[in-house]
Amino acid sequence: MSDEGLTVFNGRYELLRRIARGGMADVYLARDASLDRQVAVKVLFPEFANDPSFVERFRREAKAAANLNHPNIVGIYDWGQEQGTYYIVMEYVVGRSMADVMRSTGRLSPDRAAEIASDVAEALSSAHNAGLVHRDVKLGNIIVSDDGQVKVADFGIATALARRTGDNLTHIGSVMGTATYFSPEQAQGKALDGRSDLYSLGVVLYEMIVGKPPFTADTSTAVAVKHVQERPLAPSLLGVSIVESLEAIILKLLAKNPANRYPKAEDLRADLQRYLAGAHSIPTRTGQSPPVRTGQSPRVRTGQSPRVRTGERPATGSQTLPAPVAVRPRTGPVATAPPPSGGPPTGPRAQVPAAPGPGPGPPPQYVPPAYYYEEVHRSDGWKRTVLMFFGLVVLVAALGFLGWVFYDSLGLGDNNGPAEPTTPDNALIEVPDVSGLSYGEADALLRSAGLEPEPSYQVNTGVPENTVFAQSPPGGQRIEEGATVALTVSQGETPRVPPVRGRNRVDATEILRSAGYEVIVIEGTSQAEAGIVVGQEPSSNTELALGEAVTITVSTGPGQIFVPDVRGQTLIQAI
Secondary structure percentages of the chain, helix, strand, coil, to 5 = 30, 20, 50
Q: Exposure string (b/e) for 398-415, b if CB count within 10 Å is 16 or more?
A: eeeeeeeeeeeeeeeeee
Residue 191's region, left for phi above 0, alpha for psi from -120 to 50, else beta, is: beta
User: Rounded CA gap, 58 and 101, in Å?
Assistant: 30
DSSP state string for 355-421: PPPP-SSSPPP---SSS---PPPPTTHHHHHHHHHHHHHHHHHHHHHHHHHHHHHTTTT-TTSPPPP
SS (H, E, C) 185-238: HHHCCCCCCHHHHHHHHHHHHHHHHHCCCCCCCCCHHHHHHHHHHCCCCCHHHH
User: Rounded CA gap, 473 and 409, in Å?
Assistant: 32
**Which of 274, 252, 255, 258 is CA-nearest to residue 329?**
274
User: Rounded CA gap, 149 and 167, in Å?
Assistant: 31
Q: Would strands 478-479 and 429-430 be described as parallel, antiparallel, or unpaired?
A: antiparallel
The secondary structure of residue 132, as a DSSP letter, is -
**How far from 390 is each of 277, 378, 382, 387, 401, CA to CA, in Å?**
53, 20, 13, 5, 17
Whether the CB-CB separation of 152 and 95 falls below 8 Å is answered with no
**How far from 159 is each of 50, 133, 220, CA to CA, in Å?**
18, 7, 20
**Which of 234, 340, 363, 332 is CA-nearest to residue 278?**
340
Of 32, 136, 154, 197, which one is the catalytic site residue?
136
Amino acid at 131: G
Is 136 noted as a catalytic residue in this protein? yes
Q: Would strands 95-97 and 76-82 be described as parallel, antiparallel, or unpaired?
A: unpaired
Tell whether omega for the bond before 473 is within 30 degrees of 0, i.e. cis: yes
Amino acid at 330: R
Exposure of 228 by Cβ count < 10 A (0-12 exposed, 13-18 middle, 19+ buried)?
Answer: middle
R_g of the chain, CA atoms, integer Å:
30
Q: Which residues are catalytic?
A: 136
